[in-house]
Structures are given as structure tokens and as C-alpha cells.
Amino acid sequence: MDERKTIPQRMDDLVAWTGIPALTGRHPRRRPLRWLSALAASAAVSGFAVSAATGFAGRATWIGYAILMCGFMVGTGLQVFGPLKPFNSAERVDEFDRALRARAYLFAFPVFALATVAGLLFLMWMMVMQWPRASVTLCLAELMLMLAALSFAVPTAYASWSVEWDKDEA
């Protein structure tokens, strides 16, 4: 190291040594994630269904919760690596990207709304039937995770399936 470098310059050298600035300098490659997005959405819904079938109580509920969390984690990753460019990003967004994003979210809205209404009706039914408070609370928590996973995975699935991608991108 050069003795004439200041401390901030040496810190910059250390950061450059990690290689992270080189990774952030280029834009991520957008690719279709057809089966992964469909798998994330179906895992979230099926995980919630498994937990609901067990009554949100007992050991078997955790199997449904694990399936739901896998769908949630994969769904959150889809936002970063999927075909839709994120809002307020440094990437260049043209008319095609804006139109694709708008169509994808307009397609996802009825799916999200239907799942929300069904989940709220199920919660109300649980309260009318006087289920234990712990079960209702766990149902509400899992419902929120399922809705978040759907809001991530369904637009990505629509954008991946509706566009004909080049062979090198698919």
C-alpha cells in the first residue's frame, strides 16, 4: 500500500478488493422464471391449505408453515431476478417494460383480491365457530405471508409466461 494514501482511500481500496462494486456496476440480466414463479405461488397457497386442514394447531401445522415459508422466500427472490424491472431502479425502463409491468400487476390484482376475500371469510368463519385464539392468530399470520408471496410470484409468473423470450434468455 502507498503510504501517501488517506484512510478513506485505503477503505475504498478494501471495498474494491471485495469485488462488490464491480457487481453493482452492471445491470442484472432479466430472465423468465416460469416454473419457479408458478411453484412459489402454488407452494404458498398449498402451505396455507395444509395448515388450515390441520386446524392451525399441532405439529402438522408446521409442515404447512414450512411449505408456505419456502414459497414466500422464493417469491421474494423473484422480484430481484425476474423479468419485471423493479420500480425506482437504475435500470433503463422503456415502454415495453412499463406495459408488461402494468399488465402483470393488473392480472395479479384479481388473484390477490380473491385470495384476500377468501382468507378474510375463512377468518370470520373461524371466529364464528369459536376456534382458539392461538389458531386464529396463526391463521392471520400465515394469511399475510401467503398474500405477500402471491403479490410477488403472480406478476412474475404472468410476465414470464405471456412474453415470448429469446432462446438464450429462456
C-alpha span between 107 and 154 (Å, rounded): 8
3-state secondary structure of 86: coil
C-alpha span between 49 and 113 (Å, rounded): 17
Q: Check whether 47 has a pLDDT greater than 60.
A: yes
Which whole number is the average pLDDT over 150-160? 92
Q: Check whether 137 has a pLDDT greater than 90.
A: yes
Give me the torsion for CA of 97, 101, 104, 107, rounded to 10°.
Answer: -130
pLDDT in tens, 59-87: 889 999 999 999 999 998 888 777 877 77
Q: Return the top range by mean pLDDT from 3-17, 26-40, 61-75, 154-168.
A: 61-75
Assess contact for 65 and 51: CB atoms under 8 A: yes
Which whole number is the average pLDDT over 125-142? 94
What pLDDT sits at residue 153? 93
Query: Residue 109: pLDDT band by 50, 70, 90 thresholds?
Result: very high
What pLDDT sits at residue 78? 85
